[in-house]
Chain A
């Protein structure tokens, strides 16, 4: 019963996201990887993973799990239902001192189980004027353990204008989700160089901001 409700809720989220944003996906020339991979995206809105999830082809969508903060998604019954049951999120504890499970181990086991991940390496929602915050190191530790995993950069455009922080009514605006070609960690690549390369690959997908004046 709960599974059915979750399924209906997921469909409703996707439908609502599409109705408001008329979201359009732009695919990479090489196509999406067939094997489990990590989609890493910029993060400016609560709806980010819904939008990535909504545009993925259904056969890939069903085995793609967003990585999200446990603190937020277990805060209430509703949040837990949406996070855990509807989107099947990999919930990680962000607080280093209080955590009981290793986030990297959780992500690795999800990939080993055949799931793809949606990851926001900025770690938190970007509410600054900067286009992209510095990356957290988690994604590096992940590929350190599974270097054969494809990393797909995903730029989500305009969603922050649809529903800025603190607003409850979304404004219908057209959003695009741009997927780049998959990358992998190079043998012997150090952490700083890797994170910088990932960040540059993501920024390269960002279009000129629409409606930003010049």
Chain B
């Protein structure tokens, strides 16, 4: 067994251990609290834990399938996220071809460029070419009603759901000396730190949350939850240094940046939900809401994490 795969196995057992503990706690809570009828909070918690099992197994299978598996998984995430996003934005008949090309042209090309490892064009394809192409296609139908708004919304949908999401599998393309063949662990590191930060912010907030941090955006987010969640996720990230090319201090620092971006991304995405008058982006994942509800913090941290690692660690 290579070092990479033995680390992956250790990691998987660790995650399964955490999930088994979570499932046991959920089961006990259900037994204790649901004596007088079902308890909504516990039911949601258990639905979330079940969904975590499914997500972990799915990501695990993608990792086993290798580069193509990871690309297909994240391409699907982009597709489902884009579908949720565009469902909520204002579009008109005149945008039909622009939207169709976002799904069936821009998205596949972005992931193809990743597969072909064409970093130069990969990094500008959406913010330059797609962003110019979208308004051109829309304008051809001659409908100017709220034109700027329509163009801006489609562009941002692509930015969030395709460009940012594709930076997670882009970690596979980095060429880090002494870390060959282990890049998939960088994805694991990013996803684990971001998601643990979300969960821990929730837990700390539930236990000690007093002061709301952004009452207009997200009534459940508190200062105590934020500080506790970021601090504990940063420590766990530092403790995971052995799966990364970083030293423990570097891993901690990167985790801190990741969790901060994740938190702020969550705020931005919840501002959009508020604006559209919805509570969740969709209903894809039981207990979690839509895919974007689960992905919002990953989306904002992925490009930043990617660029930091590329700048200081990669030779490509």
Binding site for B on A (CB under 8 A): 22, 24, 158, 161, 164, 167, 169-174, 208, 210-213
Contacts and interface: CB of A to CB of B under 8 A. Distances in A.
A202 to B, nearest CB: 22
Contacts of A211: 86-91, 276
- Output the residue of B83, B87, B146, B284 with the most chain A CB within 10 A: B87
A212 B278 CA distance: 13
A164 B86 contact: no
A173 B86 contact: yes
Interface in B121-176: 146
A173 B83 contact: yes
B313 interface: no
Contacts of B87: 158, 173-174, 210-211
B277 A208 contact: yes
Q: Binding site of B, secondary structure by majority: helix, strand, loop or mixed?
A: helix
Contacts of A208: 277
Given A22-B282, A164-B93, 4 more contacts: A22-B83, A169-B100, A173-B86, A212-B90
A43 B278 CA distance: 25
A208 B276 CA distance: 11
Contacts of B103: 171-172
A212 B91 CA distance: 7
B79 interface: yes
The 10 closest A-B pairs by CB, nearest first: A174-B87, A172-B83, A169-B100, A171-B99, A173-B87, A213-B90, A211-B89, A164-B93, A167-B96, A211-B90
B312 interface: no
B59 to A, nearest CB: 20
Interface string B73-104: 00000011011101111110100110110011
Interface in B275-302: 276-278, 282-284
A208 B88 CA distance: 11
Given A22-B80, A158-B87, A171 B100 contact: yes
B273 to A, nearest CB: 12
Chain A CB within 10 A, most for which of B80, B103, B284: B103
Contacts of B283: 24, 174
A22 B284 contact: yes
A82 B79 CA distance: 29
A185 to B, nearest CB: 35
B96 A171 contact: yes
Contact of A174 (B83, B97, B104, B277): B83
A158 B84 CA distance: 12
A169 B97 CA distance: 8
Given A158-B87, A172-B83, A173-B83, A210 B93 contact: no
Interface in B253-280: 276-278
Contacts of A167: 96
Contacts of A213: 90, 146
Contact of B86 (A22, A169, A171): A171
Nearest to A172: B83
A161 B91 contact: yes
6 contacts: A170-B100, A172-B79, A172-B86, A174-B282, A210-B87, A211-B87
A148 B7 CA distance: 67
B218 to A, nearest CB: 21
A173 B277 CA distance: 18
Contact of B104 (A161, A169, A212): A169
A59 B79 CA distance: 31
A156 to B, nearest CB: 14
Contacts of A210: 87-88, 276, 278
A157 to B, nearest CB: 10
A161 B92 CA distance: 8
